[in-house]
Chains A and B, each alone.
Chain A
Amino acid sequence: MIQDLFSVTVLIGILASGIRLATPYLYAAIGETFSQRSGVLNLGVEGQMLLGAFAAFYVSLRTGNLWLGLLTAMLVGAVMGLAMAYVTVNLQAQQGISGIGFYLFGLGMSDLLFQKLMPTVETIRGFPRIYIPGLSDIPGIGEIFFSQNILVYSAYLLVPVAWFVLNKTTLGLKIRAVGENPDAADSLGVSVARVRYFTIILGGTLSGIAGASLSIALLNVFQQNMTSGAGFIAVALVYFGAWRPIGVLGGALLFSMVNALQLWVQVLNIPIEPEIAVMMPYVLTILVLVATVSRVRAPSALTKPFEREN
């Protein structure tokens, strides 16, 4: 019943689940933050994640080398990013539509490869949990924060790194300039095309890792359409997080924690219809988004192709 929710077991369970569930969102949404800060909306994240998840799983399954699997996922994501960059930067295609195209490509291609290369669903031994000496023994805290796998740790390390790159480096300054005022950046000698190529390929690489974090670290299995919309939620989290890594982290954790909470609500037989319970994370995310949306504006050049004026 409802008071059961306020026990230590449940609290630890929710936090530990939330941290794991947020991992793929973090990689994908941080990558998307880079590309959106440079003015490019990439809606193909979901497709990049699916192909990354399959590539990582299949290569790990066949070679037994998880790192090689991860590297392949990164490469696959990067190549899809490269194609996306060509379409949006050189061909100046409408970004929303081409992104959907890349999503469908990734969805179909990962499914095709899955069926042609694997007789049925298989499992592998993924990245093991790493128990950080000393810290993982702290009751509660240890289980939540210090006994996860390597891809979970690095997802959270990525947040301050992304913040640093975006706000404290020349590269970050160029990315932001290109996203806010590409004409001015161009007149100062910054190559708008080169910066956008970089951010879109980086975004694709991180989406590939996001997929790999599911298939060879958290779930250790590949199933058709297994990301189940996570890539689109990642795009939404970038808006939610107001194009800042720390905001993205907050959004990813909020969404995932509430999702973990609703799992417990059902497991504890609290009389709420399952349909209502599964809506909770989405409803709450929308409410927070509505309440805070006017706070920050999007990068001015977002979704606008850059064409040098004569």
Chain B
Amino acid sequence: MKKSVWFLCILIVLSMVLSACGAQATEAPAPAEKFRVAVVMPSAINDLAFSQSMYDALVRVQTEMGGPDAFEFVYSDGMFVVDDAAAAIRDYATQGYNLVIAHGSQYGSSLQEIAPDFPNTSFAWGTTVDTFGQPNIFAYEAASQEGGYINGVLAATLSQSKVIGVVGPIETGDAKLYVDGFKAGVAATDPSVQVNVNYIGSFSDVALASEAATTHISAGADVLTGTAQMVVGAIGKAEEADALWFGTQSNQTSLAPSIVVASQVYHWEVILNEMIGLIKSGTLGGRSFTANLANGGEVMEYNPDYALPADAKSLADKTVQGIIDGTIKISLP
């Protein structure tokens, strides 16, 4: 019996280590001039969605700032258990990182508790606008309704069946903004187009998201979109049926080069650079940032292999300009 208890303990410890696998070994304290960032993310850094958008942005910031000697970042990903994430956030703060990013709105209440214990550390969390009124918390969000709107305009232009399907995770936060913006874009372009929305109640159920896409196609949709990491299977179903796909968060062209038209891509580095500048000048928080089309935090990326008609492309470009200069207002429900 004793032996089995030992074995179990080892197994459990081993599995815990593995489930926190994204966590990189932290290095010894760095020289003062090196800027050090730690980030906690809910899904994998290579999810081709929300977490990857932040990881890619950190890599770009690192390149811009001159490599790992000037800018070091570590991450814990796959932190869908909020308690684990909270422990990681506290660990990183203890280790003296300049900026600790909680990349997920579900981490908010943990951060609210932890941040006051580390007044010299700057924290950031998103997607939200709430800094909890604390001097060392930044908030950030993406105006995902903007790219959603552009995708909606294009989708309505390209749909021949006049039916469009949307696969969403849970009706909240970033996903809701995107879907509502998308619907507004369709309605503004062609009110006769019907948009069917399906929230599957999960960020990870790839099988259900795929069946949701199949269901949309059976219901007549010839253009699909969706948000969050579980849509990767849905894109394959769209490809099988030769329906078009619009992506968001990361560039999803590589999954189905023949049918992905465009993706709204988050470029968080625009916001990260601002935060880093503020931290270096002594402001540790208290402000909120929005990535949008105007400040380059959101970029529309088109699939070069998809032959987008020139008039559709110019309509999209005009719409982007209209959103940037404020002539197009996106009304959300």
Q: B95 contacts which chain A residues (CB < 8 A)?
A: none
The distance in angstroms between the C-alpha atoms of A248 and B207, with both chains bound, is 20
The answer to whether A71 has its CB under 8 Å from any CB of chain B is no
The distance in angstroms between the C-alpha atoms of A9 and B214, with both chains bound, is 12
Given contacts A122-B254, A223-B229, contact A93 B4 (CB under 8 A): yes
Q: B78 contacts which chain A residues (CB < 8 A)?
A: 111, 224-225
Q: A122 contacts which chain B residues (CB < 8 A)?
A: 254-255
Contact of A219 among B19, B46, B233 (CB under 8 A): B233
Interface 1/0s, chain B 31-55, versus A by CB < 8 A? 0000000000001111110001000
* Distance between A7 CB and nearest chain B CB, rounded to angstroms: 10
The answer to whether B159 has its CB under 8 Å from any CB of chain A is no
Interface 1/0s, chain B 199-210, versus A by CB < 8 A? 111101111101
CB atoms of B254 and A108 under 8 A apart: no
Q: B12 contacts which chain A residues (CB < 8 A)?
A: 101, 104
Q: How large is the interface on A (under 10, 10 to 19, 20 to 34, 35 or more residues)?
A: 35 or more
Interface-centre pick from B16, B20, B202, B215 (highest chain A CB count, 10 A): B215
The distance in angstroms between the C-alpha atoms of A9 and B218, with both chains bound, is 7
Q: A224 contacts which chain B residues (CB < 8 A)?
A: 43-44, 47, 78, 204, 229
The answer to whether B14 has its CB under 8 Å from any CB of chain A is yes
Residues 152-211 (chain B) with a chain A CB within 8 angstroms:
165, 171, 196-202, 204-208, 210-211
The answer to whether B310 has its CB under 8 Å from any CB of chain A is no
The answer to whether A118 has its CB under 8 Å from any CB of chain B is yes
Q: A12 contacts which chain B residues (CB < 8 A)?
A: 218
* Distance between A124 CB and nearest chain B CB, rounded to angstroms: 9
The answer to whether A300 has its CB under 8 Å from any CB of chain B is no
Contact of A263 among B4, B171, B215 (CB under 8 A): B215
The distance in angstroms between the C-alpha atoms of A122 and B257, with both chains bound, is 12
Given contacts A108-B21, A115-B44, A123-B236, contact A274 B207 (CB under 8 A): no
The distance in angstroms between the C-alpha atoms of A59 and B11, with both chains bound, is 26
The answer to whether A74 has its CB under 8 Å from any CB of chain B is no
Q: How many A-B residue pairs have CB under 8 A?
A: 180
Q: A114 contacts which chain B residues (CB < 8 A)?
A: 44, 46
Q: A264 contacts which chain B residues (CB < 8 A)?
A: 215, 219
CB atoms of B233 and A263 under 8 A apart: no
The answer to whether B89 has its CB under 8 Å from any CB of chain A is no
Interface-centre pick from B12, B196, B206, B218 (highest chain A CB count, 10 A): B206
Contact of B211 among A17, A87, A109 (CB under 8 A): A17
User: Which one of A34-42, A184-192, A265-273 is at the interface?
Assistant: A265-273
CB atoms of A101 and B211 under 8 A apart: no
Interface 1/0s, chain A 151-193, versus B by CB < 8 A? 0000000000000000000000000000000000000000000
CB atoms of A118 and B46 under 8 A apart: yes
* Distance between B168 CB and nearest chain A CB, rounded to angstroms: 8
The answer to whether B232 has its CB under 8 Å from any CB of chain A is yes
Q: A260 contacts which chain B residues (CB < 8 A)?
A: 211, 215
Q: Chain A: which residue is nearest B210 at the CB level?
A: A219
Interface 1/0s, chain A 83-113, versus B by CB < 8 A? 0000100011110011001101101110110
CB atoms of B206 and A221 under 8 A apart: yes
Given contacts A91-B3, A220-B233, contact A274 B206 (CB under 8 A): no
Given contacts A101-B8, A107-B19, contact A263 B236 (CB under 8 A): no
CB atoms of B206 and A228 under 8 A apart: yes
The answer to whether B230 has its CB under 8 Å from any CB of chain A is yes
Given contacts A118-B46, A224-B229, contact A111 B19 (CB under 8 A): yes
Q: A101 contacts which chain B residues (CB < 8 A)?
A: 8, 11-12, 15
Q: A263 contacts which chain B residues (CB < 8 A)?
A: 198, 200, 208, 211-212, 215
Q: Chain B: which residue is nearest A9 at the CB level?
A: B218
Contact of B196 among A98, A219, A230, A269 (CB under 8 A): A269
Q: A13 contacts which chain B residues (CB < 8 A)?
A: 214-215, 218-219
Contact of A121 among B46, B216, B218 (CB under 8 A): B46
The answer to whether B28 has its CB under 8 Å from any CB of chain A is no
The answer to whether A278 has its CB under 8 Å from any CB of chain B is yes
* Distance between A82 CB and nearest chain B CB, rounded to angstroms: 14
CB atoms of B21 and A267 under 8 A apart: no
CB atoms of B47 and A87 under 8 A apart: no
* Distance between B303 CB and nearest chain A CB, rounded to angstroms: 15
The answer to whether B135 has its CB under 8 Å from any CB of chain A is no
Given contacts A93-B4, A105-B15, contact A115 B22 (CB under 8 A): yes
CB atoms of B4 and A91 under 8 A apart: yes
Q: A220 contacts which chain B residues (CB < 8 A)?
A: 233, 236
Q: A78 contacts which chain B residues (CB < 8 A)?
A: none
The answer to whether A24 has its CB under 8 Å from any CB of chain B is yes
Interface residues of B (CB under 8 A from A): 1, 3-5, 7-8, 11-12, 14-22, 43-48, 52, 77-78, 80, 165, 171, 196-202, 204-208, 210-212, 214-216, 218-219, 229-230, 232-233, 235-236, 254-256
| Between-chain CB contacts (< 8 Å), 20 pairs | A13-B214, A92-B1, A93-B8, A97-B8, A98-B11, A104-B15, A108-B15, A108-B16, A108-B19, A119-B46, A121-B255, A221-B233, A223-B206, A223-B229, A225-B204, A229-B205, A259-B208, A269-B196, A274-B201, A275-B201
List of 5 A-B pairs having minimum Cβ-Cβ separation, nearest first: A108-B18, A278-B201, A108-B19, A91-B4, A104-B15
User: Besides the contacts A104-B19, A108-B18, what 5 more A-B pairs have beta carbons closer than 8 Å?
Assistant: A111-B18, A121-B48, A218-B210, A221-B206, A224-B47
